[in-house]
Chains A and B, each alone.
Chain A
Amino acid sequence: MELIGVPGDIDNLPLAPESRGKRWREKASSFRRREGSGTFLAGLLLFCVMAGAALAAPLITDHDPSRNNITARLVPPSWDWSLTERDPKAFPLGTDGLGRDMLSRILYGLRVSLLLAFAGLCLSMALGVTIGMISGVFGGRVDAILMRLVDLQLAFPYIVLAMAIVAATKTSIPILIVLLGLAGWVYFARVVRGVVLQEMQRDYVRSAQVLGASRWRIGLRYVLPNVLPAIAIIATLQFPGLIIFEATLSFLGLGIQPPTPSLGGMMLDGTQYIASAWWVITLPGVAILLVTLSLNIISDGLRQLLDPRLQTA
């Protein structure tokens, strides 16, 4: 009888001194064997490289992103990345119509984009998760009213409305963050509500109810942890959407205003030189694409790792 053992016994075996590192390695290799882990890590690596470059912008480039240089207008990319000898006239990614260094503008612009989209993401996550939780846990009339609110938001041509509001209020960073936050909350609310409704049918919720736990306690202590994977998936899916939304507003001249460098604004400037200087409109878009692509890849990987059922959401 003892020979069969309980699976849990393996974990309780006395551990050899070097076992901590070994254990970690085992965990890592079992993670790597799971479907989606490769995609997830590849996306994460790409995202870390891009975000790291944006955050470390002052270390990478010596150029001031907003200093004009009339003698060096529309210099084509030299692709010279030798950072050891910092030549003030070297522009690895060329310059724009005012002779500003493209590399430093892209890095600083990426910074602004990422920070704005992240702030918007946090706002829409807070709003959407709260509404979705309340809707799912309380149900009934509360749920009906909140879901009508979701319908209302989904029916709006949001970009037109956002354009109108931005145009009317004279763009400022707080207003942009609020607009980004309002753009994304619906998806959080819908998915969270759906998952909560499923979880509410589970036995552990019933047991908690029998033991007399309040709805708030059930929602926050027991159900919320089980909703976290879904929230993580939606967040990685929404983040690139918000980055694109912000870039689109800036491209339309309604987002971040100069002199703050923004990727959308750079491409708006670049449209003037489309026939002569391809790099001004192309490169900022490549930067956005690399970031949004990395996030979408992370999201795909997460979906496979955490919840295969959410495939189509």
Chain B
Amino acid sequence: MRKVILRRLLQNIVLVVVIVLVVFILMRLTAGDPARMKAPVFASDEILQSYREQFGTDRPLTAQLWDFVSGIPRGDFGTSFRYQQPVFELIWQRVPETALLAFTSLTLALLVAIVLGVAGARRPGSAIDRFGIAASTLGQSAPTFWVALMLVLIFSVHFRWFPAVGFTGWKSLVLPSIAVALAVFPADLRVLRSSMIDTFHQEHIRTARAFGISNRRITWLYAFRNAALPLITVVGIDLGYLLGGTIVAEVVFNYPGVGQLAIDSVNARDYPLIQAITILTAMVFVFVNLGIDVLYMVLDPRIRIEA
């Protein structure tokens, strides 16, 4: 097993290196001259040149690439054009808020998925099952930013229960979490439901029933523990939705997280910052998924043997 994990780790490190290269090249291809953006419109060539020297964009591309790549292991992702601060610091300051939002959203989504998915799988076709499926179709169909806006309209503007913008405490987390969770839970629910239905048809469940073990015990102790395995993989996929969702929710709620920083830096054409956010989020995604694969191997002996 150790060998497999090592090989996966190596593969993922290669993947991260390729990601770094692709992002760097894409940024250089698509971005204009950042000096021209920063400098006044009628700036002379000397001023532009001095900006280029300050940003380091006057040197050949290969030198810039080398500087950038060699800085990453030291945690140096470059300096923000806009804030004149190391971008890593800027991002790091925002991580706790975004992580908190992502965590509460994921918890909420899993809770809803487990309650509705298990209840639906116990009686496929029942009212609660159809409600779960309908809710997940609706959740898939609604754009997250629109859901967020509707929540603001109803619960902040109309009822004045929750703040509409900023981060002032747990109350600020409620609406953004619901908006993001609504985008995340449909995939969880569908996977859990079908895997629960499969598990209920297996022989060990039938045996347990024959032994007269209570329905609740069978559901949670026997079936859920098996059926929850695929859910772990889906959480890895959820990460993508969480990321997209938190960006949008942070914009709507003016929530001070990494997503907000990403949008600000895009609007200000702050390329070192955008570059670093893209690469760091990709790294989180890659290594969380690696962790999930390893966890899966630890939890499911069948996969360990196959590997």
Is the pair A157, B27 in contact by a Cβ cutoff of 8 Å? no
Flag B132-143 by CB within 8 Å of A: 1 or 0 each: 000001101111
Is the pair B15, A168 in contact by a Cβ cutoff of 8 Å? no
Q: How far is the CA of A158 from the CA of B262 in the complex (A)?
A: 13
Is the pair B144, A248 in contact by a Cβ cutoff of 8 Å? yes
Distance in Å from the Cβ of A124 to the closest Cβ of chain B? 16
Residue numbers in A under 8 Å from B144 (CB-CB)? 248
Residue numbers in A under 8 Å from B32 (CB-CB)? 168
Q: How far is the CA of A206 from the CA of B19 in the complex (A)?
A: 40
Is the pair A161, B267 in contact by a Cβ cutoff of 8 Å? no
Q: How far is the CA of A267 from the CA of B142 in the complex (A)?
A: 14
Dominant SS at the A interface?
Answer: helix
A167 interface hit (Cβ, 8 Å): yes
A292 interface hit (Cβ, 8 Å): yes
Is the pair A247, B30 in contact by a Cβ cutoff of 8 Å? no
Is the pair B194, A155 in contact by a Cβ cutoff of 8 Å? no
Flag A125-149 by CB within 8 Å of B: 1 or 0 each: 0000000000000000000000010
Which of A7-15, A18-26, A90-98, A273-281 has 4 or more CB atoms under 8 Å from chain B? A273-281
A271 interface hit (Cβ, 8 Å): yes
Is the pair A163, B263 in contact by a Cβ cutoff of 8 Å? yes
Contacts A152-B15, A155-B286, A296-B141 given; indicate if A167 touches B266 (C-beta within 8 A). Answer: yes
Residue of B nearest to A294 (CB): B141
Contacts A161-B23, A274-B152, A285-B150 given; indicate if A251 touches B278 (C-beta within 8 A). Answer: no
Q: Indicate the size class of the contact surface on chain B.
A: 35 or more
Q: How far is the CA of A170 from the CA of B70 in the complex (A)?
A: 31
Is the pair A160, B19 in contact by a Cβ cutoff of 8 Å? no
Q: How far is the CA of A77 from the CA of B116 in the complex (A)?
A: 37
Residue tally, chain A, CB below 8 Å to B: 45
Is the pair B153, A278 in contact by a Cβ cutoff of 8 Å? yes
B111 interface hit (Cβ, 8 Å): no
B31 interface hit (Cβ, 8 Å): yes
Distance in Å from the Cβ of A245 to the closest Cβ of chain B? 9
Residue numbers in A under 8 Å from B138 (CB-CB)? 293
Residue numbers in A under 8 Å from B244 (CB-CB)? 157-159, 248
Please list the 4 inter-chain residue pairs (A to B) with the smallest Cβ-Cβ separation, ordered nearest first: A285-B146, A292-B141, A168-B30, A157-B281
13 contacts between A and B (CB under 8 A): A157-B240, A157-B281, A158-B244, A159-B247, A163-B274, A164-B266, A164-B271, A167-B267, A271-B149, A285-B143, A285-B150, A296-B137, A297-B137
